[in-house]
Amino acid sequence: MSDDYRIRLQLRCRGTVQGVGFRPAIHRIATNLGLGGWVINDPQGATMEIEGPAGVINDFLDCLPAELPPLARLEKIEQESLEPLGEEGFEVRSSTLGRREGALVPPDAVLCDDCRQEMEDPEDRRFHYPFTTCTNCGPRFSLVRSLPYDRERTSMGCFPLCSECNREYTDPSDRRFHAEPVACPQCGPRLWLADEKGEPLDGGDPLVAARDELLAGRIVAVKGLGGFQLACRADSSEAVERLRRRKKRFGKPFAVMVRDLETAKVTVDLDAAAENLLKSPRAPIILAPRLDGSSVAPEVAPGLDDLGVMLPTTPLHVELLRDPLMPPLVMTSGNLSEEPLRRGNREALEGLAGIADSFLLHDRDVVRRLDDSVVRTSPRGPALVRRARGWVPEPLPLPVSAPGVIVATGGHLQVTACVAQDGQAFLSQHVGDLDSVPAREFLGEVIDGLLDFLQVEPAMIVADAHPDYPSSWLARDLGVRFGAEVVVVQHHLAHTAAVLAEHGFFPGDSERCLGIALDGTGWGPDATAWGGEWLSLGGDLEWDRLAYLEPLPLVGGEAAVREPWRVAVAALERQGEGELIASTPMASQIEEARLRAMIQLAADPSWPMASGAGRVFEAAGALLGVGEVNRWEGEAAARLEALAARASDGLDPWPGFEIEAREEKLLIPSSKLLVEVAKRAADGEDATSVAAGFHATFCRLSADLTERVSEGERGVVALGGGCVVNRILSKSLAEYLEELGFEVLLPRNVPPGDGGLSYGQAVLAAVAAARGVEPRRVDVGTSNVKRCT
Ligand SMILES: [Zn+2]
Ligand SMILES: [Zn+2]
Ligand SMILES: [Zn+2]
């Protein structure tokens, strides 16, 4: 049959095809080829019908993948032949409303080069306009109220287009054709600067005034893309300290925003992969080793070698850093301590009064709160630490198709939620720690938002096995509200499942694989705090705890998590080496009377025990004098890593350490490792070299332990848990394991710590449901059951 035989096809496109300029791209390609037909957004994605000579339609299909706009992601095309109608000309039709069944909205994307050029052009009507956007860039998820993604269902719905914008919006050949947030100074959102009482400060351009405030060293609350941020000069110790005092955030590092890539490159050590990410539409905060000579004050990230750096992400931020004299700016979440981001103008004025000196406000609503994402560089490739702007709501893979909708509620710290449906898991944006009531409400808001967004109701709710986490209470409430089954999943099993599933891997029904979870704290079935676990997980979800880190006493319970020096004292005391403490750097930081009291308390055998790797690393940090108290989660461990990173020797494992056996289980002798840290420090060995030796020995022992428990098998090992963020630990352990012949999977697109927990929970629940496994074998039965294995 000849190629000019006329045919008509219907193509149903699935994936991220709404809000990314997909329809205009189709229109352009079809029109250039002289094809007839139409394209429309629908609840599943986009559908088109094209008609023309068969050969030309083949050309169309061939060039489609390469010619799609940058933010589009085509997952699947379903194709059907129709009778030709003789249609000439191609049109873009408006959306059909209906139940959402797969259409995705893309994540928010950083300002594109074309828009940026317009902002630089004095002749352009968007010269310096801080809400410039087009189909290739700008806010998406943060301003969508519901689907399908059309302007009236976003927070731009209340800004009627002016005639110029309307022309761009309706012209299929324009870059702004159906760019839903399109706006200009005539018709779009407006900016103003207000004082701390919310009174507008008049007099000229609010951006100029805001820049003057910042240059003068004052703190400005900025209404950003996904909520408020607090900004101040990062080169002023005084301004940074003032922000810390007012925000009640002590010690925890801030991220900085720099004007351009050149400044980023002289501020931190960026490898090629990190640089590409920084330049990409995702544009996260990159955590990388800080370079000497940058203007950033040490108070921004005290005691750490890494610094978080980002580029201006929105046109508003571009304007804020426009002045060539503008130094790097601290850009941190606009909240009090660990509460969620403030979102509305009034909410910000109330909540941030007393922190910010002035407020840069505008009249476009933030529909969904969204923090900046954080990625850490590593010799094994950049890895996500916090997943939010630029990634959410992009789905993650599930190893099976979930038979019903699953909601997973995460743990207690750095919480995210996850909604799984069919073969996809939608991991929510970072919610944070659940210590405050507003944070717990935010978790509920995020789950409701995802369910509403996907237009689904859950059949199964998953919680952490810890009986007293607020996320577990929420799971119970959701179970009642939706009449859904509630199951609980062991914490470190969820970490393991998250790493496996992210890599598209999960053991088949009769297979098993290994997981190592090096973590802070997670509830173990024996009611102790687990956190250094060698697990074997089967495709049938049968699992075993093969080995673990020697549990250490938490003297004073929870207080020992905040004060690692207590763990260090107890570990040494139990080895009969308590007298060493007086000669360690730690001794100069703790009052002698408190030390003596702790030595006595440590003798009590009834303290709760914890096998968390985080506890051991923090205790080592405490002994070396870099973190007797954690002002933020994991501080002492992070500072220990910073010490090790500076070491020029001590890079080899210490001799004389071996795997031990206790009650028929193998374990790593944590307390002996800590005694060695104390001895070497007392002998005057350089702290950087002790820190490096500690890392090397821990990794060597961990690899040896893995070899022992694997009994000659060499398969996949998933490495998860919060400690894997430590780049020395993850690199060195992975290398030792690979030398032994294991295939190592490390977290990449899912945070290794509790930010990825809900994803792992959803994965396990989906596998259980799809393979007909009893929830009891996942771990425990329904939520009110306290314990069993
Ligand atoms: Zn653009
Ligand atoms: Zn306009
Ligand atoms: Zn964890």
How does residue 193 score in pLDDT terms, banded at 50, 70 and 90?
very high
How many angstroms separate the alpha carbon of residue 274 from the centre of ligand 1? 22
* Ligand 2 centre distance from Cα of residue 132 (Å): 10
Residue 782 pLDDT > 80:
no
Residue 650's Cβ-count burial label (10 Å; 0-12, 13-18, 19+) is: buried
Tokens of 665: 């289980």
pLDDT in the model for residue 2: 62
Report residues near ion ligand 3: CB below 5 Å.
Answer: 519, 522, 754
* Ligand 3 centroid to residue 538 C-alpha, Å: 20
The order of strands in the sheet holding 228-233 is 191-195, 358-362, 220-223, 228-233, 329-333, 255-257, 306-310, 285-289, 374-376, 383-386
CA distances to 173, 253, 590, 636 from 631, rounded to whole Å, are 55, 11, 15, 9
C-alpha 696 – ligand 2 centre gap (Å)? 60
- Mean pLDDT across 551-573: 94
Which of helix, strand or coil describes residue 667?
strand
What pLDDT does residue 751 have? 97
| Ligand lying closest to the C-alpha of residue 161 | 2
Q: What's the CA-to-centroid distance between 207 and ligand 1, angstroms? A: 21
In the predicted model, is pLDDT for residue 144 greater than 50? yes
Confidence of residue 664 (pLDDT cuts 50, 70, 90): confident
Helices within 624-726 (DSSP H only):
635-645, 670-682, 687-710
Q: What is the pLDDT of residue 785?
A: 31
91-to-87, 149, 169, 343 alpha-carbon distances in Å: 11, 19, 14, 39
Return the amino acid letter for 16: T
Q: Which long-range contacts (CB under 8 A, 24 or more apart) does 54-59 make?
A: 54/1, 54/3, 54/4, 54/5, 54/6, 54/7, 55/3, 55/4, 56/3, 57/7, 57/9, 58/3, 59/33
Confidence of residue 780 (pLDDT cuts 50, 70, 90): very low
40 alpha carbon – ligand 2 mean position (Å): 24
- Per-residue pLDDT at 789 exceeds 70: no
**pLDDT tens for residues 402-411?**
999 999 999 9
- What's the CA gap between 672 and 325, in Å, rounded? 53
Distance CA 472, CA 478 (A): 10
Q: How far is the CA of 338 from the centre of ligand 2 (A)?
A: 38
- Please tell me the distance from the alpha carbon of residue 71 to that of residue 406, in angstroms, as a whole number: 28
Cα(105) to ligand 2 centroid in Å equals 24
Question: What pLDDT is attached to residue 775?
Answer: 61
Supply 125's token pair.
Answer: 């009507």
Q: What is the mean pLDDT of residues 12-20?
A: 86
Roughly how many angstroms between the first and final C-alpha of the chain, as a whole number? 66
For residue 17, the model assigns a pLDDT of 87
pLDDT tens column, 309-345: 999 999 999 999 999 999 999 999 988 777 888 888 9
Alpha carbon of 515 to ligand 1 centroid (Å): 43
Instruction: Return the structure tokens found at 469.
Output: 């986490």
Q: What is the pLDDT of residues 677-710, one digit of tens each?
A: 999 999 999 999 999 999 999 999 999 999 999 9
CB 235 within 8 A of CB 328: yes
Between the CA of 755 and the centroid of ligand 3 the distance, in Å, is 8
Lowest model confidence (mean pLDDT) among 337-341, 430-434, 528-532, 772-776: 772-776
Q: What is the pLDDT of residues 275-311, one digit of tens each?
A: 999 999 999 999 999 999 899 999 999 999 999 999 9
Pairing label, strands 285-289, 306-310: antiparallel
pLDDT tens-digit series, residues 104-139: 788 999 999 999 999 999 999 999 999 999 999 999
160 alpha carbon, closest ligand: 2
Please give the structure tokens belonging to residue 261.
């890539």
pLDDT in tens, 235-252: 999 999 999 999 999 999
% residues pLDDT > 70 (the chain):
97
Please tell me the distance between residue 614's alpha carbon and the centre of ligand 3 in angstroms: 10
3-class SS of residue 326: coil
Q: Is the distance from CB of 580 to CB of 678 less than 8 angstroms?
A: yes
Q: Which helix (H) or strand (E) is 239 found in, with range?
A: helix 237-247
Q: Nearest ligand to the C-alpha of residue 490? A: 3
| Model pLDDT, residue 96 | 64
Name the CA radius of gyration of the chain, rounded.
Answer: 28
Judged by its nearest atom, the ligand closest to the C-alpha of residue 69 is 1
Which-ligand-closest: CA of 162? 2
From the CA of 187, which ligand is nearest? 2
Ligand nearest to C-alpha 495: 3
Residue 749 CA to ligand 1 centre (angstroms): 25
The pLDDT of residue 98 is: 57
Tell whether the model's pLDDT for residue 165 goes beyond 60. Answer: yes
Nearest bound ligand to the CA of residue 724: 3
The Å distance, Cα 342 to ligand 1 centre, comes to 26
Residue 509's pLDDT is what? Answer: 84
179 Cα: distance to centroid of ligand 1 (angstroms): 9
Q: Taking each helix axis as running N to C, give the angle between helix 54-67 and helix 22-32, from 0 to 180 degrees, rounded to the nearest 10.
A: 140
* CA dihedral of 374, 263, 643, 617, whole degrees rounded to 10: 0
What pLDDT score was predicted for residue 100? 55
Nearest bound ligand to CA 174? 1
Given a cut of 70, is residue 786 above it in pLDDT? Answer: no
Compute the distance from residue 611 Cα to the ligand 3 centre, in Å. 12
Q: What is the pLDDT averaged over residues 596-624?
A: 94
Average pLDDT score over residue span 255-282: 96
Q: Which of 102-116, 234-248, 343-357, 359-373 has the lowest mean pLDDT?
A: 102-116
- C-alpha 296/C-alpha 308 separation (Å) is 11
Query: How far, in Å, is the centroid of ligand 1 from the Cα of 704?
Result: 52
Q: How far is CA 649 from the centre of its chain?
A: 34
Taking the CA of 491 as reference, the closest ligand is 3
Instruction: For residue 293, give both structure tokens.
Output: 């000579």
Closest listed ligand to the CA of 169: 2
* Tokens at 523, concatenated: 């509830």
- Can you list the positions of beta strands (E) in 554-630? 609-610
Distance 35 CA to ligand 1 centre (A): 28
Ligand 3 center–CA 410 separation, angstroms: 9
Instruction: Compute, in angstroms, the gap from residue 331 CA to the centroid of ligand 3.
Output: 27
Ligand 3 centre to CA of 517 (Å) is: 8
Provide the pLDDT confidence category of residue 781 given band limits of 50, 70 and 90.
very low
Give the per-residue pLDDT at 776: 54
Mean pLDDT of 434-446: 93
Q: Which ligand is closest in space to the CA of residue 529?
A: 3
Task: Tell how far the Cα of 387 is from the centroid of ligand 3, in angstroms.
Answer: 16
Structure letter (DSSP) for residue 37: E
Burial of 196: CB neighbours in 10 Å, binned 0-12, 13-18, 19+ = middle
Percentage of the chain modeled with pLDDT above 90:
79
What distance in angstroms lies between residue 612's CA and the mean position of ligand 3's atoms? Answer: 9
Is-contact 720 673, C-beta < 8 A? no
Instruction: Please check the confidence at residue 147 and state whether its pLDDT lies above 80.
Output: no
Question: How many angstroms separate the alpha carbon of residue 169 from the centre of ligand 2?
Answer: 10
pLDDT of res. 639: 96
Residue with tokens 């709160």: 369
Ligand nearest to C-alpha 113 = 1
722 alpha carbon, closest ligand: 3
Segment 66-77 shows an average pLDDT of 86
In this structure, which ligand is nearest to the CA of 532? Answer: 3
User: What is the spatial distance between Cα 225 and Cα 181, in angstroms, rounded to a whole number?
Assistant: 12
Q: Which residue has the higher pLDDT, 188 or 63?
A: 188
Looking at the CA of 530, name the nearest ligand.
3
Tell me how far the alpha carbon of residue 136 lies from the centroid of ligand 1, in angstroms. Answer: 5
**134 CA → ligand 2 middle, Å:** 12
Q: State in Å: Cα 495 to ligand 3 middle.
A: 7
Q: What are the φ/ψ torsions at residue 356 (nearest 5 degrees)?
A: -90, 145
Indicate the angle between helix axes 491-502 and 757-770, nearest 10 degrees.
80
| Tally of CB atoms within 10 A around 115 | 22
How many whole angstroms from 48 Cα to the centroid of ligand 1?
Answer: 25
Could you read off the pLDDT of 652-661 as tens digits, one per residue? Answer: 999 999 999 9
CA of 123 to the centre of ligand 1 (A): 17
- Per-residue pLDDT at 777 exceeds 70: no
**Six-digit token string for 187:** 């018709």
SS3 648: coil
pLDDT band at 73 (very low <50, low <70, confident <90, very high): confident
- Return all residues near 222 (Cβ < 8 A) that are at least 6 apart: 210, 228, 229, 230, 231, 316, 317, 320, 331, 334, 360
Whole-number average pLDDT of the chain: 92
**Number of the ligand closest to the Cα of 133:** 1
pTM to 2 decimals? 0.92
Output the CA 113–ligand 1 centroid distance in Å.
7
C-alpha 562 – ligand 3 centre gap (Å): 16
Measured in angstroms, how far is the CA atom of residue 183 from the centroid of ligand 2?
5
Burial of residue 526, with CB atoms counted within 10 A of its CB: 0-12 exposed, 13-18 middle, 19 or more buried: exposed
Separation of 724 CA from ligand 3 center, angstroms? 11
Q: Which ligand does the CA of 110 lie closest to? A: 1
- Give me ligand 2 centre to Cα 174, in Å: 14
* For the CA of 119, the nearest ligand: 1
Which tokens sit at 64?
A: 């489609």
**What distance in angstroms lies between residue 111's CA and the mean position of ligand 1's atoms?**
6
The amino acid at 632: W
| Sole residue written with tokens 């909601």 | 407
**Whether residue 79 has pLDDT greater than 60:** yes
pLDDT at position 784 is 33
In degrees and rounded to multiples of 5, residue 13 shows phi and psi of -100, 130
Q: Looking at residue 368, what DSSP letter applies?
A: S
The b-or-e profile of 368-387 (16+ CB within 10 A means b, else e) is bbbbbbbbbbbeeebbbbbb
What's the CA gap between 380 and 734, in Å, rounded?
9
Angle at 727 between CA 762 and CA 536, to 5 degrees: 40
For residue 430, the CA-to-ligand 3 centroid distance in Å is 15
Query: Which of 551, 504, 562, 487 is CA-nearest to residue 524?
Result: 551
